[in-house]
Amino acid sequence: MKIRAIELTNLRRFAGQRARIEGIGDGISVLSQPNEFGKSTFFDGLHALFFQPHRSAKAPVKALQPHAGGAPEAAVEIDLPEGRFRLEKRWLSRATARVLDASGRLIAQEDEAEAWIDRLIGQDLAGPSGLLWVRQGVLGMEPEGASAAEKSERERALHARRDLLSSVAGEIEMMTGGRRMDQVLARVNDALAKLATTTLRPRAGGEWARAVDEAATLAEQRAGLEVKAARLGTDLRQRTAITRDLAQCADPTARAREVEALTAAEQTLTSAERHAEQMAKAEGELRLARLSAGQGAEAISRLQQLQARLARAGIERDKAQQALTESEAVAQAAAGQEAEAVTRHETAREELQTLANRLDRAQRAQLALAARDRAASLAVEYERAERQRAAAEAHRADRSLLKVTRALLDLAEKAQAARDRLALQDEARLVSVRLNYQGEARVMIDGRPLPADGLRLRGATGLDLPGIGRMTIDPGLSAESDLAAQLVRADEALARALAACAAPSIAHARKALAETERLDAAIRQADDMLKELAPDGMAALQTCLAEARAAANGVEADPGEDAVQLQEALRVARDTEATALTLRREAETRHATLRETRAAREAALQSAEQALAAVQAEAGDAVDLAARLQNLTAAQPALAQAEAEATETLARLTADAPDLATAQAAVSRLRSVVEGRRRDLARLQSDLAGVNGSIGALADEGIEEALDELRGREATAAARAARYEREVKSLARLRSALDEARRAAREAYFSPVLREIDPLLSILHPGAALRIDDTSLLPTILTRAGQDEALDILSGGTREQLAILTRLAFARLFARSGRRVPMILDDALVHSDDDRIEAMFTALHRVAQDQQIIVLTCRQRAFAPLGGERLVARVEGA
């Protein structure tokens, strides 16, 4: 269907007027009028024509009536495949409905006309009018509002979308599983939710968690019981061991045997102790006998020794007396020899001293003479040195007056050469006048005859030629060069060079240079001499001279003795003295030694006498001593007999002695055995009581039965938990399979509309995608750069654009299903900026290639770039 013209009469704004738009094209047609013109009235009129029965007086119809009242009328001319038709309706008073064909023939009227229009709507328009006709100010995907009309329009649009999508993609119910899928999923989710959390862990309070908890609790209880059971086992084994030990311990035969053994051992010990006492007594007696015998022998021995010592001391005293007597005689002789040696030595020493004095005097006189000679020679040297020093000083004074050096002389000689060169040049330029006189007459110059060798003229010179007159020769311009000035400068330079040399001429200067060299040589020579004569300087030389003179002045009178002979005599005298001294020392030493010997022997004698006196004092009376000795010796055999008897008694007792230590050990061991058994018995009985108590308590609990039961219950609980886990896994697997299948089905279902939307969307939002809700069958999510955005939070402009793009996509789907339905936009895109609006225009044009689009707008300038056909509404009086 295509709309070609719309005509409104006495409808709302057009009270008493007829407004007509005609020439509506195939693609985009734009009616651009100012706001108050009433373009929305066209939309409403058109809508009412198709959807409000002519007999209706409902609010939407009443809204069509102008303020002035009267019956509103609407007509539309449409092209159908069968041809062009005109549909007319008039509401409220004299309501009519008519359908006319192209030739103006009435096809149907009133109810028949309504039926005709219903058929048209049912076929083409019912859905699309809601879906594709966009009323002024509608921002979103669907018409808003809660009125019955608005609701029914929304319903119509939803049905249209559902029909449309089903026709291109199959039934959504069929595809997504619909209600059955929902129910299955709900049951799966219910079953899962009962058991598991969203992360598929056991959910607290659920059967799975209960099984897991129960298994854990039972495991804990079991572990506790296992500990007890283990303790019971240990206790039982321990009791077996204790009982066995107790039986052994309490064995009466063993006990009696032990007591009997102890009694026997104690008796053995008593008799052993008695024997030991007897032995101790015998030992005491033996010790006493030995002591008595020992004392007697000791006293005898002591008295015998005293006698021997007394004899020995007498002999010693006599020997010492004799030695002293011998020693005194020898010492006497040695004293005489010593005195003689001393005298001889003293004589020799005096002789030696005399000779030494004589030699000393002779040598000192010789030394004084030598000093006088040296003073004389030093005086001569000093004088010569003084001369050299004076000469050098005089040369230096001369030398200091001479300034010339080799270099200064070279400079002066160069200055001289330069000056001579210039003088020669000057000379060469002079006019030479030479006369070879043949007569007497002589040419005169300045009153004197011209020299025979001629004359050289520098300037104008007057020559008196006797008899002829005066001839003036003028060399002219040749003299006017600057040679004269150069010469003057050369002279000055020469003078300066000579002044530097302190010489009036080169020859002087050369002589002066020769003189300096001679003086330098003379100075060197004098200095060398001086150094030779006085190497340490004049002052040192003078000091030496003074010393020599002083030494010479102390000269003694020469005794006139021969020092050599004196020295020989002195050597002999010295030998003699030395020999005498040796002899003297020998004599002295020998005498001294003998004196000491004598003194020592005196002391020895004295001590021998003292020793003798001491022994005599100790021994007392000799007779008495002998008597005592006699008595003691007589008592000795009786004592020895007593000792032998005691020894024999002890040996007999020792041989018979039982081992006391062994007897004690045996008693001690057996006592500990008896005591140990008693203690063991007590301990084992106590242990047994303890173990019995523990076993009794544990056995009363029936641990093993309880443990067996717990193990079974734990295994059952664990198996149940495992079953639930498997159940949860299989449910989760099922859910993911269902989710995945439904997602895939939705994708397949919505793909036709998305295929249409995507190219349009990419005009505005390249790379973006829309997601379609499967209840409303409309886009609800815009995905841009991977970010999901709900459409209702987007800006008004974007929402409006997406709403229109979606409609365009549905329009294309309609076209694809063979239903070409006009699309009407009433003041759409009010929220869009210029860039977007142009992109939208492009999208509209893209769709308009096979789609009629009627755009009503009050924004004349903004919609100018839309292009398309411009419609004109003509308004005239009705």
The least CB distance from residue 172 to other proteins, in Å, is 10
* Cα 670 to Cα 245, 272, 470, 660, 667, distances in angstroms: 20, 17, 192, 15, 5
Residue 626: what residue type?
Answer: A
User: Is 312 among the residues that bind other proteins (CB under 8 A)?
Assistant: no
Selected range binding other proteins among 239-247, 394-402, 491-499, 780-788, rule: CB under 8 A: 239-247
- In the complex, what is the shortest distance from the CB of residue 688 to other proteins, in angstroms, rounded to a whole number? 12
Report the residue from 240, 505, 795, 849 that binds other proteins according to the rule CB under 8 A. Answer: 240
State yes or no: residue 188 binds other proteins (CB under 8 A): yes
Nearer to other proteins, 65 or 176 (CB): 176
Task: Give me 627's structure tokens.
Answer: 């008597």
Alpha helices, DSSP H, located in 554-621:
563-619
As given in the structure block, the two tokens for residue 39 are: 């373009």
* Kind and range of the H or E run holding 777: none
Q: Give least dist CB 804 to other proteins, A.
A: 32
Indicate the residue among 297 and 738 with the shorter CB distance to other proteins: 738
Residue 236 binds to other proteins (criterion: CB under 8 A)? yes
Closest distance to other proteins from the beta carbon of 695 (Å): 5
Q: Is 2 in the site for other proteins (CB under 8 A)?
A: no
Helix axes 506-533, 252-401, angle to 10 degrees: 130
Question: Rounded to the nearest whole angstrom, what is the least distance from the CB of residue 158 to other proteins in the complex?
Answer: 21
Q: Does 211 bind other proteins (CB under 8 A)?
A: no
Query: What residues does 857 pair with on adjacent strands?
Result: 32
Tell the smallest beta-carbon distance from residue 745 to other proteins (Å).
Answer: 4
Among 394, 563, 738, 839, binds other proteins (CB under 8 A): 738
Q: Which of 740, 789, 792, 850 binds other proteins (CB under 8 A)?
A: 740
From the CB of 721, what's the least distance to other proteins, in Å?
14
- Determine, following the binding rule CB under 8 A, whether residue 274 of this chain makes contact with other proteins: no
Q: Among the residues of 765-833, which ranges form H helices?
A: 796-816
Count of residues near other proteins by CB under 8 A: 53
Task: Determine if 177 is a binding residue for other proteins (CB under 8 A).
Answer: yes
Nearest distance in Å: CB 182, other proteins: 9
For the residues of 250-306, what is the DSSP string, one character each?
Answer: H-HHHHHHHHHHHHHHHHHHHHHHHHHHHHHHHHHHHHHHHHHHHHHHHHHHHHHHH
Looking at beta carbons only, is 210 or 395 nearer to other proteins?
Answer: 210
The span of 147-155, 498-506, 607-615, 692-700 binding other proteins (CB under 8 A) equals 692-700
Q: Is 690 in the site for other proteins (CB under 8 A)?
A: no
Q: How far is CA 749 from CA 642, 736, 781, 805, in A?
A: 147, 20, 17, 19
Determine the interface stretch with other proteins among 172-180, 275-283, 507-515, 863-871 (rule: CB under 8 A).
172-180
- Would you count residue 232 as binding other proteins (CB under 8 A)? yes
When the beta carbons of 463 and 691 are compared against other proteins, the nearer one is: 691
Q: Is 421 in the site for other proteins (CB under 8 A)?
A: no
- Residue 233 Cβ vs other proteins, minimum distance, rounded to whole Å: 8
For the CB of residue 780, give the shortest distance to other proteins in the complex, in Å.
20
- Minimum Å gap between C-beta 772 and other proteins is 16
Q: How many helices (H) and strands (E) does the chain have?
A: 19, 21
Does 119 contact other proteins by CB under 8 A? Answer: no
Reduced to 3 states, what is the DSSP secondary structure of residue 440?
Answer: coil
Residue placing its CB nearer to other proteins in the complex, 418 or 734: 734
CB-nearer residue toward other proteins: 177 or 797: 177
714 or 756: whose CB is closer to other proteins?
714
How far is it, in rounded angstroms, from Cα 545 to Cα 382? 8
Nearer to other proteins, 151 or 726 (CB): 726
Minimum CB distance to other proteins smaller for 167 or for 243: 243
Q: Which of 108, 184, 219, 619 binds other proteins (CB under 8 A)?
A: 184
Residue (183 or 654) nearer to other proteins, CB? 183
* Closer Cβ to other proteins, 176 or 857, answer by number: 176
The span of 80-88, 682-690, 725-733, 867-875 binding other proteins (CB under 8 A) equals: 725-733
Residue 802: half-sphere exposure toward Cβ, Cα within 13 Å: 27
End-to-end CA distance of the chain: 29
**CB 702 to other proteins: min, Å:** 2
- Determine the angle formed by the axes of helices 538-553 and 252-401, rounding to 10 degrees: 90
Q: What's the rounded Cα separation, in Å, for the pair 697 and 662? A: 51
Closest CA to 83 of 28, 21, 7, 2: 2
Which residue has 């009629």 as its token pair? 852
C-alpha 539: how far from its chain's center? 81
Dump strand ranges (E) for 44-127: 73-80, 83-90, 96-101, 106-109
Least distance CB 187 / other proteins (angstroms): 5
Q: Is residue 244 a contact residue for other proteins (CB under 8 A)? A: no
Supply 30's token pair: 């734009």
At its nearest, how many Å lie between other proteins and the CB of residue 247?
14
């010393």: which residue's tokens?
547
Cα(294)–Cα(640) distance, integer angstroms: 9
- Region near other proteins per CB under 8 A, out of 451-459, 536-544, 663-671, 723-731: 723-731
Residues 695-714: x where in contact with other proteins by CB under 8 A, - otherwise, as a string: xx-xxxxxxxxxxxxxxxxx
Q: Which residues pair with 856 in a beta bridge?
A: 31, 826
Residue 515 binds other proteins, judged by CB under 8 A: no
CA-to-CA distance for 296 and 633, rounded, in angstroms? 8
The one-letter amino acid code at 454 reads G
- What are the structure tokens assigned to 374, written together? 């040296």
734 binds other proteins (CB under 8 A): yes
Residues 6+ apart with CB under 8 A from 561: 358, 361, 362
Nearer Cβ to other proteins (243/649) = 243
CB of 698 to other proteins, least distance (A): 7
- DSSP-derived 3-state class of residue 433: strand
877: CB partners within 8 A, 6+ apart: 16, 17, 18
Q: Is 181 in the site for other proteins (CB under 8 A)?
A: yes
DSSP of 18-67:
EEEE----SSEEEEE--GGG-HHHHHHHHHHHHHS-TT--SHHHHTTS-T
Q: How far is the CB of 118 from other proteins (least distance, A)?
A: 34
Contact partners, residue 541, CB within 8 Å, separation at least 6? 378, 381, 382, 385, 533, 534
Interface with other proteins by CB under 8 A: which range of 179-187, 475-483, 495-503, 645-653? Answer: 179-187
Specify the residue for token string 């004349």. Answer: 860
CB neighbours of 773 closer than 8 A, spacing ≥ 6?
A: 779, 780, 781
Cβ distance to other proteins smaller for residue 547 or 774: 774
- Residue 741 binds other proteins, judged by CB under 8 A: yes
Contacts of residue 708, defined as CB under 8 A and 6 or more positions apart, other chains included, come to none
Q: Is residue 174 at the binding interface for other proteins, with CB under 8 A as the rule?
A: yes
Report 744-763 residues binding other proteins (CB under 8 A): 744-745
Return the bridge partners of 497, or none: none
In Å, how far from its chain's centre is CA 734? Answer: 57
Of the candidate spans 16-24, 124-132, 737-745, 802-810, the one that interacts with other proteins by CB under 8 A turns out to be 737-745
Give residues in contact with other proteins (CB under 8 A): 173-178, 180-181, 183-184, 187-188, 232-233, 236-237, 239-240, 243, 695-696, 698-716, 726, 729-731, 733-734, 737-738, 740-742, 744-745
